[in-house]
Copies of this chain bind each other. A is one copy, B any other.
Amino acid sequence: MTFNLSEAFGRLERTPRTLDALVRDTPLAWHTRNEGPETWSAWDVVGHLIHGEETDWVPRARILLEHGRDQPFEPFDRFAQFERFAGVPLGALLDRFAARRAANLEIVRGWNLSESDLDREGLHPELGTVTLRQLLATWVVHDLGHIAQIARVLAKGYREEVGAWRAYLSILETPRR
Contact = CB atoms under 8 A, between A and B. Distances in A.
Interface of A is mostly: helix
A110 interface: no
Contacts of A30: 1, 7
Contact of A165 (B7, B127, B173, B174): B127
A171 B141 contact: yes
Contacts of A177: 170-171, 173-174
Interface in A131-171: 131, 133-135, 137-138, 140-142, 144-145, 147-149, 151-152, 154-155, 157-159, 161-165, 167-171
Which bucket holds chain A's interface residue count? Answer: 35 or more
Contacts of A2: 161
A124 B162 CA distance: 13
A56 to B, nearest CB: 12
A152 B170 CA distance: 14
A144 B151 contact: yes
A75 interface: no
A10 B33 contact: no
Interface in A104-143: 124, 127-131, 133-135, 137-138, 140-142
28 contacts: A1-B33, A1-B157, A7-B27, A7-B30, A10-B26, A11-B26, A11-B154, A14-B21, A18-B22, A127-B165, A127-B167, A128-B164, A134-B161, A134-B162, A138-B158, A138-B165, A141-B159, A142-B169, A144-B152, A145-B155, A145-B169, A145-B170, A147-B147, A147-B148, A148-B155, A170-B177, A171-B177, A174-B174
